[in-house]
Amino acid sequence: MPHYGLLKTDPSSSPPHLLHLPSSKRLTPKTLLHFYMWKSEHRRPFWLSPRQPESCGHTGFKLLCTDRNETALEIPKYKTFIVQEIDYRRQRIRLSDPDSCLARQLLSFDASGSPFSLFLPRSYTVLICPKDENVAPSFRSIQCLGNSTSSFFVTELEQVSSMPSSCHVFETLHLPYSFHGDINQQYLWLKWDSPDCGYCERSGSRCGFINNTTRQVQCFSSVNSGLHNTSLQVLKIICLSLMGPLIALSFCVGLVLCSSERVSSQIQHAMAVTPEPSSDVQVITRTGLDESTIESYKKVELGESKRLPTGSNDVVCSICLSEYATKETVRCLPECEHCFHAECIDAWLKLHSSCPVCRSNPSPAREGCN
């Protein structure tokens, strides 16, 4: 029988259909709903501490619930990261920094002691420059670092040769390939290769231990039936908790409405004197490029080598994060020469007039460039 670690099954403890909330939390409908969702949406290889033993999951996949009701991942040697998304089919996880300064953690980040590794790593260089130094747009500022005399910037490794003479290299990092744009608004993408439960997820099954001795995993067609009973119990508790306040609220509203007709007259008077929206408010709209301008940019079908026409070594489209394949059509922007899947960049340019990587505004390609 597979062991999924979603419920307590010790017969000497509370019945298995009951959820066990952290003792520091009040038993409110909001807390119940959050804790139930928190437990049901995460599954093997992850486990929830401290209400589940590590045997319910795999070593290194420890999840926590913060005081702000956020799910966090604990990585050895580092403080916790906030979990934004878990892709069980592709075995990837998207993380953010709880202090909104991911760059500070990445300066010393090393996932070698965990089951995770960077997703499509690429070399980036962190620079230190004098305060208010005028640098090129390809050098992106790290706003949460620096002081009154110095500023930090990050750029691709191949751009270091064009840095100002007043700047110097602080650190070379390996970051996920998707690190484009403002680094202060980026996420940390990690992947895991073991245990390999992706094939179970893609087939609609769930991954579970064959037994707790060998710790080998196998696909199972359904999750413990106790989970369904648990959800019913939680919904019953929430409904009962809300019923009393709703009855009291209805009674109070009835008293107010029946006390006098002044309420109705005051509401009508308030509606009569409500000022109309000012005609001076300006509506700002953002538009992209027209079809003819987009079509003027170079479009090429990739050959067997999948090498981009600009000579770049990029292997992944920065918009959809999918690898380029033979006979796929790519479009390259003039001036900055960044390339993307044609359908991806066409949709982007219809809404935005700038390159999604360097934010430069490409001009229409000259005749004969296609």
pLDDT in single tens digits along all 370 residues of the chain: 333 332 233 333 333 333 333 434 444 554 444 444 444 457 888 988 888 888 788 889 999 998 888 999 988 777 789 999 999 999 999 999 998 888 888 888 888 889 999 888 888 899 999 988 888 888 888 888 888 899 999 888 888 888 999 999 999 888 876 666 666 677 889 999 988 888 888 888 888 777 766 667 888 875 444 455 556 667 778 888 888 888 888 887 877 776 656 645 655 655 555 455 555 545 555 578 888 888 888 899 988 888 888 888 888 898 998 888 888 999 998 888 899 999 999 998 888 888 988 888 887 765 444 4
Comparing CA positions, the residue from 358, 357, 350 lying closest to residue 317 is 357
Paired sense of beta strands 47-48 and 62-65, if any: parallel
Could you identify the residue written with the tokens 């993408």? 189
**Residue 111 three-state SS:** helix
Distance CA 217, CA 197 (A): 8
User: In sequence order, what are the beta bridge partners of 341?
Assistant: 330
Q: Where in the chain is the domain with CATH 3.30.40.10?
A: 291-349
At residue 262, what is the residue type? R
Kindly state the DSSP code that residue 159 receives in the 8-state scheme.
G
pLDDT at 93: 93
Could you identify the residue written with the tokens 């650190």? 171
Comparing CA positions, the residue from 71, 6, 11, 51 lying closest to residue 207 is 6
Distance CA 333, CA 336 (A): 6
pLDDT at 365: 62
pLDDT at 34: 47
**Residue 116 three-state SS:** strand
Distance CA 67, CA 196 (A): 32
CATH 3.30.40.10 is held by the domain 291-349: yes
pLDDT at 149: 92
Distance CA 300, CA 279 (A): 49
Distances (CA, A) of 252 to 68, 240, 249, 260, 355: 32, 19, 5, 14, 57
Comparing CA positions, the residue from 4, 21, 20 lying closest to residue 227 is 4
Give yes or no for a cis peptide into 364 (omega within 30° of 0).
no
Which residues contact residue 124 at a Cβ distance below 8 angstroms, ignoring those fewer than 6 apart?
154, 155, 156, 157, 172, 173, 174, 175, 179
Distances (CA, A) of 271 to 75, 152, 263, 280, 289: 56, 54, 12, 22, 44
pTM of this prediction exceeds 0.75: no
Q: Is the dihedral of CA 208, 213, 216, 220 positive or negative?
A: negative
